[in-house]
Structure 1
Amino acid sequence: MSVVPSKLADRFAHVHDLVDLAETYAEDGAPVSATHNLVDAIKAIRAIIEPAPDQDRRPVTLEQLLATVEGARRTRELEEIAAVPWIAEVIGQHAPAIRALGEVAAQAEQQYRTALIEWMSRDWTCLCVVSCDEDPATACSLSGQEHVHPEIPGQPGVYGPCPLHPDAPGDR
């Protein structure tokens, strides 16, 4: 069994202290303070398992990496081990194909996040539907704001897109 470096042991002790303090706050009826301590504990844990990119680290040899993975397998599933960012990074250093897949995955994750942000920032207040002929003046009351679907010139009874929400379908 290897000896844990004192700096790492200190970091684990700090996490332990934060969790203990959070538990004390919770028992004393101070949930906000307890939550703040738990958030600090999460940050401390992330600092341990996700070292900062600018932090100098010695390269991990293949033998050390395999020993780390084998040791972790005693208490963790392979999926959990693979989810630790520094392990994936070190495996990528030893396996170019995995590094390339990691880059593709990072790009896909960025595209996914961009799509999520775009979806969340969309104007969801407009509830325009294909037919809103309940209102004789063709004003759409479904969005909570009155706005008109203009008639398309030369096509009587056919309406274009909403001028306030161009991605909404026109009235038909």
Structure 2
Amino acid sequence: MPAVPSKLAARFDNIRDQVDAAEMYAADGATMSAMQNLVSAIAGIRSIIEPAPGQQRHPMPLEQLITTVEGALHRRTAEDVAAVPWVAEAIGQHSPRIRALGEVAAMAEQQYRAALVEWISRDWTCLCVVSCDEDPATACSLSGQQHVHPEIPSRPGVYGPCPAHPDAPGDR
């Protein structure tokens, strides 16, 4: 009777298959399918190395943590080992300073993502070209003083160059 593979071995096989499929799709020029397979592989890897939400993880005894990290250092760099989420979490449980730094890093990461989203979501159609006196967000503020671009009388809804910054890029 053949040996039944463990659940963990089956999960590794599934991840390997997804990476292989991604490589094949990429070679064929199907980038979206390649990305979808890579994202699935990443999710599979994370499900192995990160605890499930709500799962309580008891602190690893310090001796066991040191032995695990020393063993990992035979095959990986210290940076690679530190990048594993459960390792950082376990070390943080034994070092309040590192735990505090991790919390600051997590908060900075959230602020960074929020700033990226805000920048990406920004309305880039008004680059000091068109504005309206009813919406201060679109009024020109290059000088630090709010002012409005004048409407061209013969062309309703079309605004002229910025009176305070006639040479500003996009102000034509």
TM-score range, shorter chain: 0.5 to 0.7
CA–CA distance in 2 between the matches of 1:113 and 1:26?
28
Moved more, 83-92 or 18-27: 18-27
* 1:55 Cα offset (Å): 2.5
TM-score, normalised with respect to structure 2: 0.64
Q: Which residue is equivalent to 1:66?
A: 66
1:113 partner amino acid = R
Question: Which consecutive residues of structure 1, in runs of 5 or more, have no partner in the other structure?
Answer: 129-142, 151-161
* 1:30 Cα offset (Å): 7.7
* 1:65 Cα offset (Å): 1.3
* 1:123 Cα offset (Å): 2.2
CA–CA distance in 1 between the matches of 2:77 and 2:68?
13
CA–CA distance in 1 between the matches of 2:14 and 2:58?
24
Q: Which residue is equivalent to 1:165?
A: 138
Q: Which residue is equivalent to 2:158?
A: none
Question: Which consecutive residues of structure 2, in runs of 5 or more, have no partner in the other structure?
Answer: 148-162, 165-172
The 1:103/1:125 distance shift into structure 2, 3 A limit, reads: same
CA–CA distance in 2 between the matches of 1:104 and 1:26?
38
1:62 partner amino acid = L
Secondary structure of the equivalent of 2:138? coil
Q: Which residue is equivalent to 1:51?
A: 51
2:126 partner amino acid = C
Task: Say how many residue pairs are matched.
Answer: 140
2:119 partner amino acid = W
CA–CA distance in 2 between the matches of 1:35 and 1:110?
24
The 1:166/1:9 distance shift into structure 2, 3 A limit, reads: same
Deviations 1:92-119 (A, max 9, x none): 1111111111112212222222222222
TM-score, normalised with respect to structure 1: 0.64
Q: Which residue is equivalent to 1:89?
A: 89
Cα RMSD of the aligned pairs, angstroms, is 3.0
The 1:64/1:11 distance shift into structure 2, 3 A limit, reads: farther
Q: Which residue is equivalent to 1:11?
A: 11
The 1:164/1:111 distance shift into structure 2, 3 A limit, reads: closer
Secondary structure of the equivalent of 1:90? helix
* 1:44 Cα offset (Å): 0.5
* 1:163 Cα offset (Å): 4.8
The 1:38/1:101 distance shift into structure 2, 3 A limit, reads: closer
- Alignment of 1:103 with 2:76, yes or no, is no
Deviations 1:77-104 (A, max 9, x none): 2112112111111111111111111112
